[in-house]
């Protein structure tokens, strides 16, 4: 398991760096697919099979198609110009980004994590019918209100996208 | 067993890469993809902690984050298309209509 973590974590990090560094937007989008798939594998390693499947279908499938569609439609293959409007933007960004990484890393590695009361082991979840069943049951009982609000949010997003992208209403 | 701190540090690294993407790049679509990386890093932290704590609430939360991300992408890309039509560019340094 330990080795498998690194086999997935390193491509996830490298492809994320690639997304940011690539001059060609299409390459960025394709590297983002690699990144999302790698993170989906990490989800499987963490016993979140449903979320991993949703990640592949919704993110790597639907959202990335949307991205590539817009990139192709606008014809944005070429990179941006070299002209900098803010001269120190890059070094300052790297400085503060590095500071934030160190801060986050220290906090993340220092915290001790206690299991909650009534913690479920992967075996318990399997006995209750499997990850998908248990998460689905939670979604439609304890989190039903949030679930319904999400459906309204998606409706608003559809209407908003149509209104914004339409040339003339 | 991989310690949960590994996942949390990976999540922090990925989040930082996303932040750097937003700060350094000027192509609106790449900035958008960097935001997706950040959302994914947060999701990874959620799932890692859900696994460590033995609670499935974290997985349900990630489900909602995915839904919000999908909505955000649809509206955001529509805005980018509209801006590109009107301004002829999606370089965020060129789009300064609301800047004083």
- For chain A, say whether B67 makes contact (Cβ under 8 Å): yes
In chain B, which among 26-55 make CB contacts under 8 A with chain A?
26-27, 29-30, 32-34, 36-37, 40, 43-45, 47-55
Bridge partner list, B27: B91
Task: Encode chain A (169 residues) as per-residue pLDDT tens digits.
Answer: 778 899 999 999 999 999 998 888 899 999 999 999 999 999 999 989 999 999 999 888 889 999 999 888 887 655 555 566 677 888 888 899 899 989 988 888 787 887 777 777 777 778 888 888 888 888 999 999 999 999 999 999 999 999 988 877 6
* pLDDT at residue number A84: 65
Q: Which helix (H) or strand (E) holds B38?
A: helix B28-53
In chain A, which among 84-143 make CB contacts under 8 A with chain B?
85-86, 89-90, 93-94, 96-98, 100-101, 104-105, 108-109, 111, 113-116, 119-121, 125, 131, 134-135, 138-139, 142-143
Q: Tell me: the pLDDT tens digits for B72-87? A: 999 999 998 888 888 8
What count of other Cβ atoms lies within 10 Å of the Cβ of residue B72? 17
Where do we find the tokens 């696994």? B51
Where do we find the tokens 């789009």? B95
Extended strands (E) in chain A: none
Q: Where are the domains of chain A?
A: 1-78, 122-169
ipTM given for this complex = 0.91
Option in A32, A42, A71 nearest B36 (CB): A32
CATH class of A1-78: mainly alpha
Token readout for A118 is: 């009534």
Compute CA distances A65 → A26, A70, A81, B62, whole Å.
11, 9, 26, 21
C-alpha–C-alpha distance, residues B36 and A60, integer Å: 11
- Asked if B27 lies within 8 A of A121 by C-beta distance, the reply is no
Bridge partner list, B91: B27
Q: Where are the domains of chain B?
A: 4-87
* pLDDT at residue number A79: 53
CATH class of B4-87: mainly alpha
Task: Encode chain B (100 residues) as per-residue pLDDT tens digits.
Answer: 778 888 999 999 999 999 999 998 888 899 999 999 999 999 999 999 988 888 888 899 999 999 999 999 999 999 988 888 888 888 887 777 777 6
Option in B27, B72, B79 nearest A25 (CB): B27
Residue B70: partners with Cβ closer than 8 Å, 6 or more residues away: A58, A62, A63, A154, A157
Using a CB-CB distance cutoff of 8 angstroms, which residues of chain A are in contact with residue B49? 113
What count of other Cβ atoms lies within 10 Å of the Cβ of residue A11? 17
């Amino acid at each position: 398991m330990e080795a498998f973590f690194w086999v997935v974590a390193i491509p996830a990090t490298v492809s994320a760096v690639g997304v940011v560094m690539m001059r060609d937007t299409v390459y960025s989008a394709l590297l983002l697919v690699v990144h999302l798939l790698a993170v989906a594998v990490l989800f499987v390693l963490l016993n979140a099979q449903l979320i991993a499947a949703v990640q592949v279908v919704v993110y790597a499938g639907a959202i990335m198609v949307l991205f590539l569609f817009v990139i192709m439609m606008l014809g944005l293959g070429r990179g941006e110009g070299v002209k900098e409007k803010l001269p120190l933007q890059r070094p300052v960004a790297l400085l503060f980004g590095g500071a934030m990484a160190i801060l986050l890393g220290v906090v993340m590695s220092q915290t001790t994590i206690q299991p909650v009361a009534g913690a479920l082991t992967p075996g318990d979840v399997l006995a209750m019918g499997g990850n998908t069943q248990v998460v689905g049951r939670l979604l439609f009982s304890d989190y039903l209100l949030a679930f319904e609000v999400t459906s309204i949010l998606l409706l608003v997003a559809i209407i908003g996208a149509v209104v914004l992208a339409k040339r003339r209403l | 067993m991989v310690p949960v701190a590994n996942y949390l540090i990976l999540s922090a690294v990925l989040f930082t890469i996303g932040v750097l993407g937003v700060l350094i790049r000027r192509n609106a679509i790449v900035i958008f993809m960097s935001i997706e990386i950040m959302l994914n890093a947060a999701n990874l932290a959620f799932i890692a902690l859900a696994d460590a704590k033995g609670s499935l609430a974290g997985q349900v939360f990630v489900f909602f984050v995915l839904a919000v991300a999908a909505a955000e992408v649809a509206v955001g890309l529509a805005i980018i298309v509209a801006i590109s039509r009107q301004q002829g560019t999606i370089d965020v340094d060129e789009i300064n209509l609301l800047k004083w």
